Structure 1
Amino acid sequence: MEKRIGTITLLVSDRSQSESINHLISDFSDIILCRQGLPLQQHGIAVISLIVSGTVDRINGLCGRAGRMAGVEAKAVVTRQVES
């Protein structure tokens, strides 16, 4: 299957989801190149940015599972260019 580079951004407004998010990220560690987290306490959210390399199905699988968690918004952007 074709691999692509992309980014997934998670906006977390429910801090009680932290453990579930960490388990999910561990489950998809094979496609994660980089992870950056930024707690924005003054806004009541945390932002997690993931740089990923994998199939579109795998990237969307991670994004979809994260987005179904209560208090978590997730968006993915994937390159059109296929990784060689």
Structure 2
Amino acid sequence: METRVAIIGIIVEDVDSVEKLNGILHNYGRYIIGRMGIPYREKGINIISLAVDAPQDIISALSGKLGRLPGVSTKAVYSKSKDKAENGGSDEKTDR
């Protein structure tokens, strides 16, 4: 199945949603490449950056589920390229 690499930006303004958010991330764990969380105490929010590699519908579903939580905002940014394995391998050019 064709996958895309994407970043999901998450802003958490309601700490009561954190437990549900972490549960959703656990359910999608096989697609998560990495996660960075930054507590911004001065503003009372948490900023999470999530790198994923998944089919586009999975990324959309994950972002949508997170964004429906109270006090949580999300935005997904997709890579332009599709699976390199399905496109014939590396995009690197060699001089021969």
Under TM normalisation by the shorter chain, which class is it?
over 0.9
Bigger share in helix: 1
Structure ID, larger Rg: 2
CA-based RMSD of the aligned residues comes to: 0.7
What stretches of structure 1 move > 2 A for 4+ residues in a row? none
Structure 2 unmatched ranges of 5 or more: 86-96
How high is the TM-score relative to the length of structure 1?
Answer: 0.96
Q: Give the corresponding residue for 1:70.
A: 70
Number of residues of Structure 1 aligned to a counterpart in Structure 2: 84
Choose between structure 1 and 2: higher strand proportion. 1
Identity of paired residues, percent?
35
- Structure 1 residues 12-64: Cα deviation after superposition (integer angstroms, max 9, x where no partner): 00011110010000010011000111000101110011000010000111000
Which consecutive residues of structure 1, in runs of 5 or more, have no partner in the other structure?
none
For residues 37 and 11 of structure 2, what CA distance do their matches in structure 1 show?
10
Q: Partner residue of 1:52?
A: 52
Residue 80 of structure 1, CA deviation: 2.1
CA distance in 1, matches of 2:79, 2:65: 20
